[in-house]
Structure 1
Amino acid sequence: MTLKVGDIISFERTFNRKDVELFTEISGDEGIHHLTPDEQGKLVVQGLLTATLPTKVGGDHNVLAREMNFEFLRPVFTGDTIMCEVKIENYERTENGRAAIRASFICRNQKEKEVLRGGFSGVIL
């Protein structure tokens, strides 16, 4: 898929306990809220695990990120389904034949509440 300015790429993911456990092991982020369930039996999903949603676009399009920013707006819990919309803000060919890209994103939970927003820029290899 060739990207162009204005394209919106959407996808969703439901986070589960195993996701949090694996990310805890990999990242070392052992905050008590990631290890101890709340009264409803849910764990808080690590912010950077939630932030893997917009980075999926990078993997899908071979983006080498140069800059990423995240604004964490509210917690995500196991069992939450998060929809991420990435909008291509800038896409242009560089002199060396690569493409420079800049995108913004918004992630919302199943209640349509924003949980994360931000942007990234980089080059496509």
Structure 2
Amino acid sequence: MSLKVGDVITFERTFTEEHVELFTKVSGDEGSHHITPDEQGRLVVQGLLTATLPTKVGGDYSVLARNMDFEFLRPVFTGDTIICEVTVEKYEKQEGRNRKSILASFLCTNQNEKQVLRGSFSGVIL
């Protein structure tokens, strides 16, 4: 899988109550909004669970992250389908090393085309 500047990689996930429950157990993030449904029967998805979307793309390309920047724009609820578009901004071989550096930005939107998360990450690919 070769990357180049300008590539856009897309991944989507529909978050379920099971996702939130498992992440609650693993992270210890037990805010009442993550364990008590709202008036529509939905749970609020943890921000860092939502942030697994761009990290999943990074994992697909074996990125060893050095920096990650997240801006959480609006809540994500169980039942929401979030589409994450990662854009490769920089991709180059590191001089004298057998690895490449990468800088990517991302934007995540819900099924209503509302932005929920944006940010960037940088790292190396070994």
TM-score (norm. length: structure 2): 0.98
Superposition pairs of residues 53-72 of structure 1, within 5 angstroms: 53-72=53-72
C-alpha separation in 1, matches of 2:12 and 2:61: 17
Question: Match for residue 35 of structure 1?
Answer: 35
The DSSP-based 3-state class of the residue aligned with 2:75 is coil
Deviation at 1:58, TM superposition (A): 1.4
* 1:97 correspondence with 2:122: no
* 1:82 correspondence with 2:82: yes
Question: Match for residue 120 of structure 2?
Answer: 119
State the one-letter code of the partner of 1:78: T
Question: Match for residue 9 of structure 1?
Answer: 9
How many corresponding residue pairs? 125
C-alpha separation in 1, matches of 2:88 and 2:98: 19
State the one-letter code of the partner of 2:114: K
The DSSP-based 3-state class of the residue aligned with 1:123 is strand
C-alpha separation in 2, matches of 1:92 and 1:29: 37
- Percent of paired sites with the same residue: 74
What is the RMSD of the two structures over their aligned residues, measured on CA atoms?
0.4
The DSSP-based 3-state class of the residue aligned with 2:90 is strand
Question: Match for residue 22 of structure 1?
Answer: 22
4+ long deviations beyond 4 Å: none
Deviation at 1:77, TM superposition (A): 0.0
Deviation at 1:11, TM superposition (A): 1.2
**Conserved 8 A contact 2:85-2:106:** yes
